[in-house]
Amino acid sequence: MKVLVATTNPGKLREIERILSPLGYKVVKPPEKLEVKETGRTFLENAYLKAKAYHERFGLPTLADDSGLVVDSLGGYPGVFSSRFYSLEFGGKEELKGSADEANVRKLLRLLQCEEDRRAKFVAFVVLYLGEKGFFAEGECRGEIVESPRGSGGFGYDPVFRPEGYDRTMAELPPEEKDRISHRGRALRNLAGLLESCDL
């Protein structure tokens, strides 16, 4: 199946392609970026909004994900605001120096500076929108936030997230190992299994 992925984030595109290609899916990059307002209160709602918008614009089976970091001691933040956490009033806005990813990580570490409980999890919801019907699946990866960024791989909060059972951060893991345990990898494999059971 040819699947349009509703993102222009190069890191996310590479990750999705690495996971879906061996499962028999041809990943297609959108010809242009759509500005979709992520007004949902949950990851699932936002994934649905993106998948629907890209499907209506380009007419292909469309895959969208919404994912983020959930930190226990921050009451679930950044959550659905993970990509723009630095700009929220919650905990005070972080000045945008460098990339948004770097600003998000700086704010997260600042807020956790005096916290003993650094438990967190990555959560992902993926939606495949086909127009007349759709499918969704979820995945998560539990771990904790380390005190300073480590590693140059991945993107987003990967340099400060250490998965359970590992002494390395997500950004220190080889891509194939990260894909095996990541929230997005689990969600995509769950979706592929669902589609297979439905004979799609």
Using CA atoms, how far apart are residues 170 and 155, in angstroms rounded to an integer?
Answer: 9
H or E stretch at 200: none
Residues in the chain: 200
Using CA atoms, how far apart are residues 65 and 126, in angstroms rounded to an integer?
Answer: 4
Q: Of the residues 65, 66, 101, 158, which is catalytic? A: 66
Helix 10-20 with 183-197: angle, nearest 10 deg: 40
179 noted as active-site residue = no
Helix (H, G, I), strand (E, B), or coil: what is residue 143? strand
Question: Which structure tokens are listed for 70?
Answer: 């959930």
Using CA atoms, how far apart are residues 82 and 88, in angstroms rounded to an integer?
Answer: 10
Q: Give the residue numbers marked as catalytic.
A: 66
